[in-house]
Each structure stands twice: as structure tokens, then as C-alpha cells.
Structure 1
Amino acid sequence: MSTHPELARRLGTVDAVVIGLGSMIGAGVFAAFTPAAQAAGSGLLVGLAVAAFVAYCNATSSAQLAAAYPTSGGTYIYGRERLGPWPGFLAGWGFVVGKTASSAAMAMTFAAYAAPPGWERPVAIAAVVLLVAVNYRGVSRTAGLARIIVAAVLAALTIAVAAVWAGGAASPGDVPGGGLLAHGWYGILQSAGLLFFAFAGYARIATLGEEVKDPRRTIPRTILLALAIAAAVYAIVGVTLLAALGPDGVASTSAPLADAVVAGGWAWAAPVVRVGAALASLGALLALVAGLGRTTLAMAREGDLPHWLAAIHPRFQVPHRAELALGAVICVIIAVADLRGAIAFSSFGVLVYYLVANLAAFTQSGADRRYPKVLQVLGALACVVLVATLPLAAVLVGLVIFAAGAAYRMARLRRRA
């Protein structure tokens, strides 16, 4: 790896935590509770706890691996180093394909809140162009914008929660609904799979490992800290929504927080929630573009993607070709498709990514081992279980996409031979 030009280490602890929070406290906190309530009713709180535990298992694996391999690429690099080129490739491919689709969905979500009718696609494309330009100017600019967005989103969430409880809309007795287990464990696990998607942003810290100061100390600490903050925010919002709307009310609306605010009598706060949702989508998109660029850089360095994508800008110290190429692909997807249903496919790719991370961390020993192996075993098993709860169509599409990636790599290996 030392033969490649390296990225500059400019991110401190606070910057890394903010980028992780920007990925986790994104549009999901404004929308993910609706499908979770449809699957599990008030049992979504159990699903949230399951998702948080699975995320914790996976986060400890990512933290342990990132401390040993503080370079760009995240689980793509960990899989290659610990398990071999093919597992690493499958992890990287799942991340790049799944998160590219997720980036387009985040841009469209932003446009749904911020654009006038009929202008959704142009506004979404403009958002992608703007955030790619921010990333192009350097990771410090990315972290600076992430701080602003995270602060604004947390402020909007605080106002929303205060509106519900202070406005008299909250009824704690409505939280259990018909019972936490009324929809059965399958529904709870399905809600966990949907809510896990919202937690998955902590991996963005690991993918930026080559740009973090003192990575062996900073990365493990920031991953777990960002995850803990995000879990607390999601728990508060989940309880608030159930107390204001009840399980059926949460399941029947596409904007549960806005409806909860209106129910509380603070109608003036509803636009604030919409602005918060738009900013949350931008924050998630900003972190996604940064993480995608670094994983693409790592795959290009190893020849698993075209080598010209491995270039690093001499002034801004970013993988500029990778980010420009990904930005173009995201814009094309926005122009030709509606990706609101892409969350299940993206979850498929993310869960495969973390499955490889858990298996890779399981092989570590000695000074590199920071957490018990049982956490990696539980994390790997949970990834498989949550994949099994995803809609069948998403699983089938995911398998086809992974097969196409494998065929692409085999063709490159044959040409190289």
C-alpha cells in the first residue's frame, strides 16, 4: 500500500464523530419509523434495540479492524487483508453499488422536501453536484459542512420532540399499543432490518481511516461514540412518535414527525421539521459521497476497479476522479429512475459488507484484538438473519448485482493473466 500516494490526515475526533452522525442521523430518522411500524407496530422499539445491538457488534468489528488497518477502503481492505481478495471484493462491491443507489435516494428525498412540484429531479441533481464540489475541495470542507448540518438536524429534532411533549399530544399509555410482541418476532426482525439501515453510517468513519489523526486511538473511540449518540436519538424519537400517534398512526403516515408536531399544537414547527428532514438528507448524502470515493479509491488501487480512479488530487488531497465519476453515476440514476424503494437493496449490500467485517475481525488475535470474539459471531449471525427478513425481490436483485460484480472481476483477472 505504501507505493500509492496517500491522503492527508486532517480529521480529529470531533470531525470524525460529526461525519458519522451525519451519516446515521440522516433522512432515516424522519422516515424509517413508518415502515418499521408497519412491520412491527409498537414492537419497533424492540426492533430498534435489536438493530442497535447488531450495529454495536458490527461497530466493534469495524473499530478493531480500523485500528489495525488505518487506510481508505474500510471493509474492502479488511476483507482482503484477513480473508482474501474475493471476500474483500464482495464487501467493496456491495458498499459501492448499494451506497450509490442510497445516495440517489437521499438526493431525491432532499428534493421531495425542498423542491417545488415538478422540479424534484433537477434539484436532486443540483444537490449532488454541490456536495461533490464540497468533497472535491478537501475532507476538511466536508467535515465543516457536516458540523453545520448535524447541528441543524439535531435542533430540528429537539424542537419536534419538545412540540409533542409540551404541546400535550404525547400519551405514554399509547406507546405499547397492542403489545410489543403483537406482530410476532418476524415483524420485529423485519423492523430491525429496516432500522439497521439508519445506523449503518458509522462505517463512514472507517472508510475515511487514511484521513484521521492518530487512527489507532481515534477511530475505535469515534465509531462507538457516534453510534451511542445516534442510538439515543433514535430511541427518543421512536418513543415520542408512538406516544403522539400510536403504532397505527406512525404506520399510516409518510411524515410521522411532522404529523406528531401538528398533533401537539405547534403547527409553526412543522416547517422546521421539513427543513430538518431536507438537511438530514443532505448530511447523509455528503457523508455517502465521501465514503464512496474512498472505497472506490481503495478498489482501484488493487485493480478491482479501473486504475485511473485511484488518482489523488495534488492540492486538495482527495480521490477526485472517483468522486467525479460517482457523482456522474448518481446523477444519471436520479434522471432515469425513482429510487425510493432502493432502501431494501441498499440494506442487502450493507449487511453483506458487515458480514465480511465480522468474519475478518474474528480472525484477529494478539495486540489487534480489542473485543471478545463472541461479538463477531453474534454480528455475523445477525447479518444473515436480517438479510433473510428483507423482501424477496430485494434479495433476488442483490444476488444478481453481486453475480454481475463477480463476473466483472473474473473478466479482469483473465485479461490480466
Structure 2
Amino acid sequence: MTRELRRTLGVFDAVVIGLGAMIGAGIFVALAPAARAAGSGPLLLAGLALAAVVAYCNATASARLAALYPASGGTYVYGRERLGPFWGYLAGWGFVVGKTASCAAMALTVGAYLWPEYAHAVAVGAVVLLTAVNYAGVQKSAWLTRAIVAVVLVVLVGVVVVCLGAAGPSAGSGAGPGGSAGGVLQAAGLLFFAFAGYARLATLGEEVRDPARTIPRAIPLALGIALVVYACVAVAALSVLGAGELASSPAPLADAVRAAGAGGLAPVVRAGAAVAALGSLLALILGVSRTTLAMARDGHLPRGLAAVHPRFQVPHRAELAVGAVVAVVAAVGDVRGAIGFSSFGVLAYYAVANASAWTLGARGRAPAAVGLVGCVGLAFALPAASVAAGAGVLALGAAAYGWRRRAGSR
């Protein structure tokens, strides 16, 4: 049975998959808690800029490493090859656990927007549907992601045009409860959740054509497009709601179009949020299953999960396992707190990526250092509950690694 995946993705598809992961439900749900942490419009935008700087440094590190190690697994592979097996394992563990929680959160977001009374059932159905799409091959996933990204971009452009065309408070008015440097850091950590999708390009490295050329081009391009979209949406929402109302809104973009006098567009925005969550979920399942494949190849997860389907050329057992776990969590879980928990795990993942990039030589060490310091700083600036849960999960993974090593030596 083959263990290799088929290289079918070019630059355009790679950028689209990255955008599908980034321009997803994050922008619909992360603005409110970030505004609450920042405390004012200018500080929220400062947090967005800080998150973008850290994300850019991480993207630069990931692009360099992905070109050198074009295999499934992303930072799990980079950490293993550059820093040693433990650091690779810790990155992979943080990614799989944190992003599995994100998958459940995105599935529940779909349910909450489409049919709130049966949110859990809709969430499970969404997981089953998208797992089936991924099972049929990564090219099918790329085609569906194209459609999702197009729909979401149209909705977001509509939000920006409607809000900026309406009179309202300035971006600096309506201050919330925060307003400190710590608040900016926490806002940046929460907004990083919305940027983290470019990792999908690295974890799909084994399915990209000419990865040494494609990945370094696709990652910064996808990140740049996402930053422009996020900045426009944030300014537009602040222009009609102000930071105070934005911070307290359960559905900020829907409330923004209502405040702009276009309440008829609110159902469209809700539908766009559901589609965006589907896009994020699709890309998340892709990324988690590929990291699961890489860890299974090395024996950190059951080796049976490393199987590749002979026809569809996908890690079908890993995808089914990830889909099953996410469906169970979505059936009984709660979306609250998932953003902070996921951000902590992903920031730990990228800290390992930046440390790995540091070992590549003097060229590129400055962004790697900024990225490493930024990841650590933003991770510990998150809400205390998120830090405690994330650190506990990493400690549990480290303990499991140590136990397995001792058992193997005996």
C-alpha cells in the first residue's frame, strides 16, 4: 500500500485553500472578544496589526521550512528535523488537539447560524459531509473551497460597502472596558485565531506541485489578501458600532449592517457566516488529518492512521478518525472558549516553527526571532482560562511522550 500523497495543487489552489482557512468564521466571531479585550477602536486595529506582524513572521518561517521539507505534517516535521523528535511531537500534539477543538467550534458555528434550535445536529451533519468531501480527494476539497471563498468575499465586501456608506460613530468612539497594552496583546492573541489558516498550506506540503516554488509564493499572498480583508471589515464594523457595541455583540457583522440601516442584509450575513464556517471546517479537517498522518508514520499515533487510499490518494483512515472525534465533540461540546484554547495551541505550534527556522542560518533569523517572541507573548496574554487549558494539554502530551519513550527503552 502506498504511503505517498499525490501532488495536484498549484499556486492558485494553494492560495485558495489558505484563504478558505483564514477568511472563514474567524472574522465573524473573533472581532467581538478582541474588541472587548482592546477597549477602543484604535487599540483593536493595533491588535489586528500586531497579530498580522506575528502571522507574517510565522508565514515566512513556514514558507522557508515547507520548501525544504515538502511533506505532510507542517511544523511537526520541521521541529522533528531541526530541533529533535520531542519538539516536533509537541508541535504536532498542540496542533492536533487545538485544531480538533477548532473543528468542533466551526461545526457548531454552522449549526448556530443555520438552525440554532438544532445546532448540535447540524454541526454533526456538517462534519460528516465535509469528511466525505475530503475523503474523495484534495482536489475536490480545493474546488469546493473556491466556491466558499467566493461567497464569503462577496458577503464581506457587501458588509464593508454598506457600513462605510452609512453615518455612524468613528472607529475610536464607544470605548469598551479595556484600553491597555495588555488589552492590545490579548486582542492580538484572539485575532491570531483568524490568521492561523495559512498553516494548512504547510501541512499539505506533500500534495503541492513544485513545493519549493509554490509554497513560498502562496503563503504570503494568502496572508496579505486576508489582512486587507480583515482590516477593511474591522474598520467598517467600528464605523457604525464603535468599540463598545462591537465588544458586546454576539453577531457583530450582522449587527453592523443593521446599524447601517440595511437590516435586510442581516440574513445574508448570517448565511455568509455559516458558509465561512464550513470553509474553515473543511480546511481544518484537511490540516489535522495530514498532521495525524505524519505523527502516525513516526509511531506517535496508531500506525494504521498512516494508510493512504490507493485510489483517492488521501490519508483516509486519518480523515475518518479526525471526523469521528470532531463529530463526537460537536455533538456534546460548547463553542465558548474554543477561540482562546485554539489560539494557545497554534501559537505554541508556531513558536516551534520559528525556532526551527532560526536554525536555517543567518538569513531570515530576524523574522524568526520576532515570530518566536511574538508567539510566546501572545500565547500568555490570552485569557487565563485559555492559558491554563492550553498549557495543561501540552503538559499532558509531553508526559505521554516521556512515558512512551521510557516504555520503549525498557
For Structure 1 versus Structure 2, the TM-score category normalised by the shorter chain is: over 0.9
Asked if the contact 2:340–2:386 (Cα under 8 Å) also holds between the matched residues in 1, the reply is yes
Q: Distance in 2 between matches of 1:37 and 1:282?
A: 24
Give the unaligned 5+ runs of structure 1: none
Contact 1:344 1:394 (C-alpha < 8 Å) held by counterparts: yes
Work out whether residues 99 and 288 of structure 1, in 8 Å CA contact, stay in contact via their aligned partners in 2: yes
Q: Could you tell which deviates more after superposition, 216-225 or 247-256? A: 247-256
**Aligned pairs for 1:87-106 within 5 A:** 87-106=87-106
Instruction: After TM superposition, list the pairs within 5 Å mapping 1:94-173 onto structure 2.
Output: 94-117=94-117, 119-166=118-165, 168-171=166-169
> What's 2:354 paired with?
358
State the match for 1:236 in structure 2. 232
> How far does the alpha carbon of each residue in 1:37-66 deviate from its partner, in whole angstroms, 9 at most, with x for none?
111121100000000000001100000100
1:27/1:284 contact within 8 Å kept: yes
The CA deviation string for residues 68-110 of structure 1, in whole angstroms up to 9 with x for no partner, is 0011000000000000000000000000000000100000011
Contact 1:163 1:269 survives alignment (8 Å): no
The 1-side partners of 2:241 and 2:176 are apart by 16
Aligned residue for 2:354, secondary structure, equals helix
| Counterpart-to-counterpart distance in 1, 2:228 and 2:391 | 34
SS of residue in 2 equivalent to 1:340: coil
After TM superposition, list the pairs within 5 Å mapping 1:222-371 onto structure 2: 222-365=218-361, 371=363
Does the 8 A contact of 1:73 with 1:294 survive in 2?
Answer: yes
| 1:279 Cα deviation after fit | 0.4
Verify: 1:49 aligned to 2:41, yes or no. no
Instruction: Tell me, in whole angstroms, the C-alpha distance in 1 between the residues paired with 2:64 and 2:131.
Output: 30
CA deviations 1:365-415 (Å, max 9, x no partner) are: 3xxx7x521110111001111112112222222222122212222333334
Aligned amino acid, residue 381 of structure 1: V
What code does the residue aligned with 1:14 have? F
In the alignment, is the contact (CA less than 8 A) between 2:2 and 2:310 conserved in 1? no
The 2-side partners of 1:88 and 1:115 are apart by 40
Give the match for residue 28 of structure 1: 26
TM-score norm. by structure 1 comes to 0.95
Matched, 1:194 2:190: yes
- Contact 2:167-2:260 within 8 A present in 1 as well: yes
Matches within 5 A, 1:73-84: 73-84=73-84
- 2:162 and 2:335 mapped to 1: Cα distance? 32
Aligned mates of 2:75, 2:262 — CA distance in 1: 44
- Hey, what's the Cα distance between the residues in 1 that align with 2:397 and 2:62? 23
Aligned residues of 2:20 and 2:283 also touching (Cα < 8 A)? yes
Query: In the alignment, is the contact (CA less than 8 A) between 2:186 and 2:383 conserved in 1?
Result: no
- 1: CA distance between counterparts of 2:176 and 2:108? 33
Distance 1:332 1:178, change over 3 A: closer
Q: Identify if the C-alpha distance between structure 1 residues 178 and 30 changes in structure 2 by more than 3 Å, giving closer, same or farther.
A: closer
Question: Which amino acid counterpart does residue 372 of structure 1 have in structure 2?
Answer: G
Q: Which moved more, 1:26-35 or 1:129-138?
A: 26-35
Q: 1:170: how far off? A: 4.3
CA distance in 1, matches of 2:182, 2:406: 44
1:53 corresponds to which letter in structure 2? V
Q: 1:198 to 1:274 in 2, by over 3 A?
A: same
2:17 maps to 19
- Could you list the per-position Cα deviations for residues 144-182 of structure 1 after superposition, in whole angstroms to 9, with x for gaps in the alignment? 00000000000111111122233x2445xx112278997
| 1:379 paired to 2:380 | no
Among 37, 43, 62, the alignment partner of 1:39 is 37
Give TM-score, length-normalised by structure 2: 0.96
- Judge conservation of contact 1:169–1:260 (CA < 8 Å) in 2: no
1:390 aligns with one of 382, 392, 398: 382
1:230-285 Cα distance to aligned partner (Å, 9 max, x none): 00000000100111111111112111111111122222211110110000000000
Pairing partner for 2:399 from 391, 403, 407: 407
Q: Which runs of 5+ in 2 are unaligned?
A: none
180 and 215 in structure 1: CA distance in 2 versus 1, 3 angstrom threshold: farther
Contact 2:36 2:178 in 1 (8 A): no
1:72 aligns with 2:72: yes
Counterpart-to-counterpart distance in 2, 1:267 and 1:276: 15
What is the deviation of 1:116? 4.5
1:205 matches 2:201: yes
Q: Do the aligned residues in 1 keep the contact of 2:189 with 2:381 (CA within 8 Å)?
A: yes
Alpha carbons of structure 1 residues 180 and 271: separation in structure 2 relative to 1, 3 Å: closer
Task: Tell me the percent identity.
Answer: 60
Aligned length: 407
Residues in 2 aligned to 1:170 and 1:319: alpha-carbon distance in whole angstroms: 50
Q: Which amino acid aligns with 1:123?
A: V
